[in-house]
Amino acid sequence: MTVRAASIRLLCLDVDGVLTDGTVQLDDLGHETKRFNVRDGLGISLWKRLGGEVAVITGRSGLAVRHRLEELGVRHLYSGSKNKFDDIRDAANACGVPLSAVAFVGDDLPDLPAMRACGYPVAVHDAAAEVRAVASFVTTACGGHGAVREVVEHLLRTQNRWNEALAMFDSPSAPGTRAGSGGVQHEQQQPQST
C-alpha cells in the first residue's frame, strides 16, 4: 500500500459524496446548489502547489462544480460521466501519467470501475461497503467533511512531502493566506473605520 501511495501523481475525485456530503439541493426554479468544504479546497491547492495533478470525474453536470473547480484551478473536469473507467483513463492520458500513478477517491457503486483501474483506490468513511472493500485507504472523514484534505495529507506524508506543505505556512504572512486559484493567495486586511 505505501509503495503505491508514494507513486501517485494524479488525484482523481468524484463529486457527490466525496467533495460534497452527497446532498443534492434544488431550489424552486430547479437550480442545483452544492456545499463544498474549504478544507478540501486547501488540500487540492496544496496537492497542486507541490506539483500534483487533479481531475474530477462526476456523473452529474452543473455549474456549481465548474465554478468551484475554476476557483481552485482544476483544469480536468469530466462531468456527466457515463463511464468512469474511460474517463479515468482519459484523465491519466491528459496528464501524462500511467494509471498506476493515479489515485481515485470514491463513495458509491458508479466509482468502482475507476477505483479498480487506478493504482491507489480510496474510499471516504461513509462510502458503500463494496467501495470500502476495494479501497487501499479509507478516510476517517465522511465525504464533504474534509475527506479530500485527509487524502492529500495521507499521500504527502507517504511521499515524505508533508513538511513541504507545512513550510508554506511558516512565514509571518501565514494567517492571511487562503486556498484559491490553484495556490495560496494573500489577502490584506482593510482598516476598519470607526
- What DSSP line would sit under 99-148, residue for residue? GGGEEEEE-SGGGHHHHHHSSEEEE-TTS-HHHHHH-SEE-SSPTTTTHH
136, 5 in Cβ contact below 8 A?
yes
pLDDT at 62: 84
pLDDT for res 3: 67
Statement: the pTM of the whole predicted model exceeds 0.95: no
Compute the distance between CA of residue 55 and CA of residue 70 in angstroms, rounded to an integer.
12
The mean pLDDT value of the chain amounts to 89
In the prediction, which pLDDT does 54 show? 98
Q: What is the pLDDT of residue 184?
A: 44
Query: In the prediction, which pLDDT does 2 show?
Result: 61
Question: Looking at the predicted structure, is the pLDDT value of residue 164 above 60?
Answer: yes
Residues in the chain: 194
Q: Coil, strand, or helix at residue 98?
A: coil
**Calpha distance 65→36 (Å, rounded):** 9
From first CA to last CA, the distance across the chain in angstroms is 57
Q: Find how far residue 11's CA is from the centre of its chain.
A: 7
Greater model confidence, 21 or 173: 21
Tell me the H-state helices in the chain: 2-6, 38-49, 63-72, 84-95, 112-117, 129-134, 147-158, 162-167
Single-letter code of the amino acid located at 33: T
Task: Give the per-residue pLDDT at 173.
Answer: 60
Cross-strand partners of 138: 123
Distance from the Cα of residue 25 to its chain's centroid: 21
C-alpha cell at 3: 509503495
